[in-house]
Structure 1
Amino acid sequence: MLNSFRMSTFAIATAAACIASPAVSAEHTVLIEDGGYFPTITYAMQGDTIVFVNDSNATQTVSGPNDSWTSGSIPVDGSFALALMEDTPLTFNGGVDLEGFDIEGQISYDPAPLDE
């Protein structure tokens, strides 16, 4: 009887700790390449951080639509971290691809698709 009580108390305490613990945020890396972003779509959640790493041959700037946020100049091999908030736009852009078209990346709060 005492063992059953202890096990029940432990189970309730463990469940309460799991429910009360804060969600863990994740960090996602987006490479700024010459001509595009990799990946082009980043699957994340609010509270996560996206780190833009300049892997191109020139200084780069990444911005949200209508300059809602901007990284400022990111030097070659430099980085910029963006914390995702409720009002963070889900698209970003900066620079042009090898054919002169604007490059754009996306953030999705959907689950990442499974590889086949």
Structure 2
Amino acid sequence: HVIGNQIRQTAIPRRFSTPIREIWELQFRLPRRQGKRADRLIEHPRFRAAYDLLILRESSGEELDGLGKWWTDYQVQNPQIRSHMSREANRDEPTKRRRRRRGPPKKQESNNG
């Protein structure tokens, strides 16, 4: 949304705005590193740029709970350690409770009889 708003004010060629948007969107995916997500994310063509932005955000004082260090460590590990790190990341995050959808309203039985 930030990029979209800025494009209205400033002419940013698409060859620049598209990568900027992708890097920005990856910032929201970096905290979700459970299971195979981390492996898929590290293979993304813009991962390194998104990682660099994450480190910049951390070094500027934004509190990210060690996310930059986790990704720094993850990149240099072998596949077995990476798998273990992803499982541990899953344990560290609180489980989200999903709301159950309510079924259709129950029909009232009439006792007109």
Does the alignment reach a TM-score above 0.5?
Answer: no
Larger radius of gyration: 2
Q: Larger % of helix: which?
A: 2
TM-score, L = length of structure 1: 0.24
Q: Larger % of strand: which?
A: 1
